[in-house]
Amino acid sequence: MSFLNIFGKKKTPKELLRENKRQIDRAIRDIDRERMSLQSQEKKLIVEMKKMAKNNQNEAVKVMAKSLIRMRHNITKYYTVKSQLQAVSMRMQTLKATQSMADAMKGVTKALTGMNGQLSLPEIQKTLREFERQNEKMDMTSEIMDDAMDDAFEEEGEAEETEELVQQVFDEIGINLNTQLASVPATQVAQPQQQQQQQPQAAEAEPVGDGIDEDLQARLKNLRGN
């Protein structure tokens, strides 16, 4: 009956996890409340033990000491139980996250199965082939239309006018080249001629120098002979 709600319907795992986690959280709060109460009693007991010790009531102090030890043991147990419950709560949260992921994967798998069932590989291939054929047909139609438009708008004598225009452009280029050649400075052409004229003059001057040297040598010989 614990797995059934008030309407007799079985609870889902997610609902069970939520309910159990709520119970664990409530138990942790109760344990904290009891632990804090024991710690408060511990402080009061220590104060009373000090009073009894001042009054030299040693037997009462021993009894209170035993109670204090048991109280501290219970506080330690509360800490242990709380840590265990927290570990269980964390485990339940992990299970809840795992369950959510499993539900999501289940939904995705179902959607993929439906999509794959609707897709037909032969039909897709047929569609792609038809698309390629229609695309090629459109390209051919465009080329035919372009040629027809060129023929329709071409006027008589247009080819001759085109040749004349091209020839005119070539003539203008030739005129520009001649103009550039005419604008070259004349000194650049005259320099090689001047260099050629200076070279024979230098060649003629060399024998004169040789004659002067022979005359000097003859005079030196005459002086030595005297």
CA angle 71, 74, 75 (to 5 degrees): 90
Q: Are 4 and 30 in contact (CB under 8 A)?
A: no
Q: Is 156 left (phi over 0), alpha (psi -120 to 50) or beta?
A: beta
Average pLDDT over residues 162-168: 69
Give pLDDT tens digits for 7-55. 557 777 778 888 888 898 899 999 999 999 999 999 998 888 888 888 8
62-75 mean pLDDT: 89
Q: Is the pLDDT score of 210 beyond 60? A: no
Three-state DSSP at 1 gives coil
CA distances from 99 to 12, 13, 21 (A): 11, 8, 15
Amino acid at 17: L
Q: Mean pLDDT lowest for which of 95-99, 155-159, 180-184, 205-209?
A: 205-209
From residue 75, alpha-carbon distances to 34, 65, 107 in Å are 9, 15, 48
Q: What is the pLDDT of residue 215?
A: 65
Q: Under a CB-based contact definition with an 8 Å cutoff, are residues 78 and 36 in contact?
A: no
* 209 has pLDDT over 60: no
Query: Is pLDDT of 102 > 70?
Result: yes
Residues 92-102, mean pLDDT to the nearest whole number: 83
User: Which of residues 208 and 154 earns the better pLDDT score?
Assistant: 154
15 neighbors 4 (Cβ within 8 angstroms): no
The per-residue pLDDT for 49 is: 87
Q: What are phi and psi of 9, to 5 degrees?
A: -90, 140
Tokens of 82: 């709380």
Instruction: Quote the mean pLDDT of the chain.
Output: 75
pLDDT at residue number 159: 62
- pLDDT at residue 193 tops 80: no
Of the segments 33-47, 98-112, 145-159, which one has the largest average pLDDT value?
33-47
Per the model's pLDDT, the better-predicted residue between 10 and 88 turns out to be 88
DSSP states along 84-126: HHHHHHHHHHHHHHHHHHHHHHHHHHHHHHHHHHH--HHHHHH
pTM beyond 0.85: the answer is no
pLDDT confidence band for 172 (50 / 70 / 90)? low
Angstrom distance (rounded) from CA 31 to CA 48 = 26
pLDDT value at position 168? 74
Nearest to 94 by CA among 106, 82, 86, 84: 86
